[in-house]
Amino acid sequence: MRGALATVALVMAVELPAQEPPALTAFTARRLAMVEVIAARGVADSATLGALRAVPRHEFVPAERRRDAYGDFPLPIGFGQTISQPYIVGYMTAVLRPRPGMRVLEVGTGSGYQAAVLAEMGADVYSIEIIGPLAETAKERLAQLGYADIQLRAGDGYNGWPEAAPFNAIIVTAAPDHVPQPLLAQLAVHGVMVIPIGPPGGYQELWRLKRVSESEIESTSLGGVRFVPLVRESEGG
């Protein structure tokens, strides 16, 4: 009898269904809904949408703001900085069209979310953050989430990453009041830069800059945006 009871207990244990933790289920559902909103607003690049579905945005916001992680609005991450609105992340990424093996420079790591999206798409990512504590936290977070191959350093992003240039794509996630010439010089022929340009504290214009030859840049305005100012080393690095 004891053997029979043990057998029944074993069968019951095997047949118990695995259950996903409730919090993970909720975050997953919200993430998928977020991507639907982004797609409905016109972001159609399937690789971009796939990366947004895969990267857990709630891991890149402060714990007290996780309930808002999948809302389509920016969130504060400390030090006067924000994690960008999901739609803007999707839109700028789709404009860049990063693909496996492309070398991409990000200026303004922040919490690391944009860098994770780029890495999820197979790009070789180099990311610069001028605020030391943000750079350190982002590096630890990205490693914990499996994005340890991202090259990340603290420094003045205005100057780019010359020793890793040229880049197939450059994305700037804070607004200078003009195009940084060091970044333009590090853009490969046929490479694309997406950058907000405008005065600090106000609205800026988002630009797509494509290097069509060694001496020619093609500029396209993508409309009005609002980003935090690009901080320079003399201002608080």
Contacts by residues 140-147 (CB-CB < 8 Å, ≥ 24 positions apart): 141/59, 141/60, 141/111, 141/112, 142/112, 142/115, 142/116, 145/56, 145/59, 145/116, 147/112, 147/115, 147/116, 147/119, 147/120
- Distance in angstroms (rounded) separating the CA atoms of residues 226 and 230: 12
The strand pair at 81-83 and 151-154 is best described as unpaired
Measured between alpha carbons, how far is 216 from 47 in angstroms, rounded to an integer?
29
Residue with tokens 């809302």: 71
Token reading at 104: 């991409």
Among the listed residues 46, 84, 127, 234, the single catalytic one is 84
Provide the angle, in degrees to the nearest 10, between the axes of the packed helices 132-144 and 113-120.
Answer: 40
Q: Which amino acid is at 101?
A: G
- In angstroms, the CA 124 to CA 8 distance is 53
Catalytic annotation present for 46: no
Pairing of strands 151-154, 124-129: parallel
| Catalytic residue numbers, as ranges | 84
